[in-house]
Amino acid sequence: MDQFFTEQRPDPVSSDQESHNTRRIFVDMLQTLLLSAAIFLALNFISARIRIESVSMQPTLYENDFVLVNRLAYKMGQPGRGDVIVFHYPPNPEQEPYIKRVIGLPGDTVEVRDGLVFVNGNLIREPYIKNAPAYSGVWQVPQDSLFVLGDNRNNSSDSHAWGFVPLQNVIGTAEFVYLPPAHWQVLNPSQALAAEPQP
């Protein structure tokens, strides 16, 4: 007995269904866009990204390194000795941010002599520096400020040249070098900065 099969054709999509699908796609795209914008704003609130444009922090940081900055690091506290911080340049805050290492905290006395750095009379160990400082001086750090130096001591515009960094100028702490891949590193405060009492 012959059997006949009738081809089943899909029901045509109604204009209402097409309109609903279009609206759904639009809503999904809008939600994705808003979520992306929220994530972008959140990341920019808690972090910043900067490119190193000088040799002042060599050998820790090199020109064209890209660094991730934690903006929230000091919301509940203050920088510590050895922190690598990003801040607005005190003589001209409109310039591109600076990046240096914290040497002196509020109330500290910093002295540089004979190529060595002393904090409150104690020598600090600094294996991270490029060369010993060729300058000398004594600085009393104000209560609301920091004393910062570049790791490339003789090729750095820093506190020994223009003075102190007000705490209110600090943007955050440099946390991580993420580009180029060959320079990846976490920028933890240097424990080598520990002061050694002098006899």
The catalytic residue positions are: 56, 100
Beta strands in 44-194 (DSSP E): 47-51, 66-70, 84-87, 98-104, 109-113, 116-119, 122-124, 137-140, 145-149, 165-166, 170-179, 185-186
Torsion sign across C-alpha atoms 98, 185, 115, 103: positive
- Sorted by sequence, the CB contacts under 8 Å of residue 141 that are 6+ apart come out as 104, 105, 106, 107, 108, 109, 110, 147, 164
Cα–Cα distance for residue pair 186/68, rounded to 1 Å? 10
Cα–Cα distance for residue pair 68/51, rounded to 1 Å? 9
| Cβ atoms 62, 79 nearer than 8 A | no
Tell me which amino acid residue 16 is: D
Which pair of tokens denotes residue 117? 């750095």
